[in-house]
A = this chain, B = another copy of it.
Amino acid sequence: MIRLVSDNREYLLSPGETLETDLGVLEVPDGVEPGDIVETHLGTEFTAQALRGPDLFTHFDRTGAPMMPRDIGLVMGHTGISDGDRVLDAGTGTGVLSAYLARAGANVTSYETDSEFADVARENMAMAGVADGVTIRTGDVTQALDTLVAEPPFDCLTLDTADAPTVVEQAPQLLVPGGFVAAYVPFVEGTRDVVEAAREAGLQSIETYETIQRTMDVGDRGTRPQTAGVGHTGYLVFARR
């Protein structure tokens, strides 16, 4: 799909699609390319743009609260995600993390227990143009560990599931030497469980981060952090084989 933007208006459309808007009918040419100008029949110009990561966060169909770009970024930064990485991701959820990683060249195998959620996530991957980079398996990752251990090892495990400790226990079997686990955990108690599982598994460089991100207001009266605060999302636990 492609993003069509005019001032504060934006649509995600497929090449060949037609949309009736209050600014006129928007016919997307079959061969539309990023950078092209597409005019409605009333003459309003839209610019075609390639989707970028934050657009996926905004436009994916949601089956729950997706991981935010900041947390996805922290996972990418602390694991050093790389083109060609093999990543095991669980659970898929809306799939924003999987899509981001695939956009950075990773080959992602993602598990989602809910088959309807898995279908939505597969459509989201198609929308993002990363269907080739992300394989979504319907099922419980903790039931699949024997299978997974028999596959080639992963460079990263990204875990956003209450079962994270069970997966972490198998991290030494699942990861290449030097590979990373990244677990996103909303509560302190769950965070502790992941850290303890990582210690018991003999993982290295175990670090737990909490990240507070604030928007700064740059206004006429001066500069300050926003008075409406950004709240807690989750703790991030990183560990390395």
Chain A positions within 8 Å of B, measured between CB atoms, are 3, 5, 34-35, 47-50, 52-56, 69-83, 100, 103-105, 153, 155, 176-180, 186-192, 195-196, 207-216, 218, 221-233, 235
Contact = CB atoms under 8 A, between A and B. Distances in A.
Contact of A213 (B178, B180, B210, B214): B210
Contacts of A54: 78-80
Given A77-B70, A78-B69, A103-B82, A229 B227 contact: no
B189 A223 contact: yes
Given A225-B210, A227-B232, A233-B227, A72 B83 contact: no
B81 A83 contact: no
Contact of A176 (B49, B78, B222): B49
Given A47-B177, A191-B218, A227-B231, A104 B81 contact: yes
